[in-house]
Amino acid sequence: MEAIVLAGGFGTRLRQVVADVPKPMAPIAGRPFLEILLGSLAKKGFSRAVLSLGFMAEKISGHFGSRFAGLDIAYVVEDTPLGTGGATRLAAEACTQDHVYVFNGDTYLDLEVELLEQQWQVRRHPIVVGRQVSDTARYGRLVVDGDRITSFEEKGITGQGLINAGCYVLSRDALARFPLNQAFSIETDYLVPEVAREMVEVFVTKGVFIDIGIPADYARAQTLLADL
């Protein structure tokens, strides 16, 4: 299996606590977060990862080189910020398999990969990984009918619900209609129109989920992920 890891963001909200490295390299219990993420992917059966880089790209590529924890590592560096969609579109050019898993480089997700792969193989529709959380306000919500997503609700709705965990399974050419090096959102510009065509499925994970992008959750990750 092959993964794209989106690791090119500026990490503006985390700058106050981690100023000298890109956000995915922020130390968690003494280790760069991206080491924890890539090590987890290797243990779950991934053989290759394409890292989509931008801000301080050399600090990531210089650290990992071409192989880490049994993963072959390739790099794609964006010249200007391309958003989640543009970055994924560019990274897909370096992918070799017919489908790819897309992960955020600042999010740890203990994903049930075997079950997710089985779901993909049945219909090969785009899949969004969802996660039940106690408060959806920060993330927005997924509205689903069985295993199909019917709509996305905006951020700000409080209370328990199902969110987009920022992980996707897509065919390698899913974004091919978008021009290379054009900034766009995978969520707004790709997934929303696909949902209208009744083509997007959900996989609800029960695994550990934490986004280190804000200081409070970065601090919480120090304990939550320490044993990894």
The number of residues making up the chain comes to 228
Residue 156, burial from CB neighbour count under 10 angstroms (0-12, 13-18, 19+): exposed
Taking the model in full, what pTM does it have? 0.96
Contact 131, 209 (CB under 8 A): yes
Rounded to an integer, what distance in angstroms lies between the CA atom of residue 17 and that of residue 163? 26
pLDDT by 10s per residue, the chain, length 228: 999 999 997 656 676 667 678 889 999 999 999 999 999 999 999 999 999 999 899 999 999 999 999 999 999 999 999 999 999 999 999 999 999 999 999 999 999 999 999 999 999 999 999 999 999 998 889 999 999 999 999 888 899 999 999 999 999 999 999 999 999 999 999 999 999 988 899 999 999 999 998 889 999 999 999 998
**How is the chain split into domains, by residue range?**
2-224
Out of 3.40.50.170, 3.10.20.600, 1.10.3470.10, 3.90.550.10, the CATH code matching 2-224 is 3.90.550.10
